[in-house]
Amino acid sequence: MVINEQIKVQIWAVVIGVVLWLIKIWAYFLTFSNAILTDALEGIVNVVAGVFTLYSLIISAKPRDHDHPYGHGKIEFISAGFEGALIFTAGTLIFAKAIYNFWVPNQLQEIDAGLWLTVLAGGINFALGYYLLQKGRQQRSLPLEAGGKHLLTDAYTSLVLIVGLALIWITGYTIIDNILALALGAMIIYTGYKIMRSSIAGIMDEADKRLIDELIDVLQANRLEQWVDIHNLRVIKYGNTIHIDCHLTLPWYYSVEQAHHEVDNCGELVNAHGASNVELFIHVDPCLPQSCKICKLANCAERRYPFEQTLLWNFHNVTLNQRHSMHSLQE
């Protein structure tokens, strides 16, 4: 899915979000339930955050320029952080109102109608949230993934809300409404915190272990015997582009042309298995005598020591800024 398709998906997400918000507002004015108001307030957050996510995808799709040599993809982390902040704020307001209504209770009405409207909105939210989350993970799009998580959380809160409304309808205990609003408010606050945490991690270029592990698995499964080791691997995400730096150790006697060929082979391998656009910068290191014991290269006229054992690449040793040796196997 190209970036323009991501924008189309998000446009539909915003449109559906507006429809769902209208359904939730209708349910609130039928029932005057705090718990349903929780759902309605989050519906407003869905719409506002969805519009900002759409804006971030449009900005992220702009080509790189002199002022932004790595492109405009970092806007996606700001978008996710903004959405997380909105969710966190909505949860705090919901929590506060629920506490207030313990002393000034609401007069509930038409719970059955509100219940069915909530079932409808929750079902649509779940389907849309699941779709956005899968597309976001597939395309490594943080805004789509954050939006999907948000809508799924909204769907789960709707499920809890449905159970609570059914209990109120059956038992007539209206205090359940405030207890439910407190629980949902706390859940929403936690979701907002997690999204903001993910956004800050991206802005600070925190290592994405899942992404790096996937990359290392590809390199490990397709490594050539002349690739003595790969180290100092770093991955930075800019929107739909993944920027990768690493050091590739090759036989010291390779010509510039041979080394360039191996760098191209490595780059083509990573791009062939990448779900996003991959920008790869590889620094070539010459092998050292200590490398011989982990090097499987056959018929090497410059070998100083016999081959002993293959070093399996993993997150720990590939991300270190040091060439590998038998000592690396002992760590």
Read off φ and ψ for residue 182, nearest 5 degrees: -60, -45
- On whether the CB atoms of residues 216 and 234 are closer than 8 A, the answer is no
Distance CA 166, CA 152 (A): 21
The answer to whether 189 and 95 are in contact (CB under 8 A) is yes
DSSP string, 87-98: HHHHHHHHHHHH
Diameter of the chain measured on Cα atoms = 89
CATH topology of 3-203 equal to that of 209-330?
A: no
Instruction: Show me where the domains of the chain are located.
Output: 3-203, 209-330
Rounded to 5 degrees, what are φ and ψ at 223?
A: -65, 145
Q: Provide the 3-class DSSP secondary structure of residue 202.
A: helix
How many angstroms separate the CA atoms of 110 and 14, rounded? 29
Q: How far is residue 35's CA from residue 50's CA, in Å, rounded to a whole number?
A: 23
The type of residue at 77 is: F
CB atoms within 10 A of CB 329: 15
Neighbour count for residue 2 (Cβ, 10 Å): 10
**pLDDT by 10s per residue, the chain, length 331:** 444 777 888 888 888 889 888 988 888 888 888 778 777 877 777 787 778 778 877 877 777 777 776 667 677 777 778 878 888 888 888 788 788 778 877 677 778 888 888 888 888 888 888 888 888 777 767 667 777 877 787 787 778 778 888 888 888 787 887 888 888 888 888 888 888 887 887 776 666 788 888 888 989 999 899 999 999 998 877 666 778 889 999 999 999 999 999 999 988 888 887 655 678 889 999 998 888 988 988 888 889 888 888 888 988 888 888 876 656 555 5
- The per-residue pLDDT for 58 is 81
Name the burial class of residue 71, with classes exposed (0-12), middle (13-18) and buried (19+) by CB atoms within 10 angstroms of its CB: buried
Cα 162 off chain centre by: 29
Q: Give residue 283's pLDDT.
A: 92
Q: What is the pLDDT of residue 69?
A: 66
**Main-chain phi, psi angles of 241, to 5 degrees:** -110, 135
The answer to whether the beta carbons of residues 258 and 248 sit under 8 Å apart is no
Q: Are the CB atoms for 31 and 113 separated by under 8 Å?
A: yes
- Domain 3-203 grouped into CATH 1.20.1510.10: yes
pLDDT of residue 239: 61
Q: How far apart are CA 276 and CA 272, in angstroms?
A: 10
Identify which of 218, 302, 311, 305 has the alpha carbon closest to the alpha carbon of residue 265: 218
pLDDT of residue 276: 58
Cβ neighbours of residue 117 under 8 Å, at least 6 residues apart?
23, 24, 26, 27, 30
Question: Which DSSP string corresponds to 53-75?
Answer: HHHHHHHHTSPP-SS-TT-STTH
Question: What is the pLDDT at residue 50?
Answer: 79
What span, in angstroms and rounded, lies between the C-alpha atoms of 122 and 163?
Answer: 12
Asked: is 209-330 a CATH 3.30.70.1350 domain? The reply is: yes
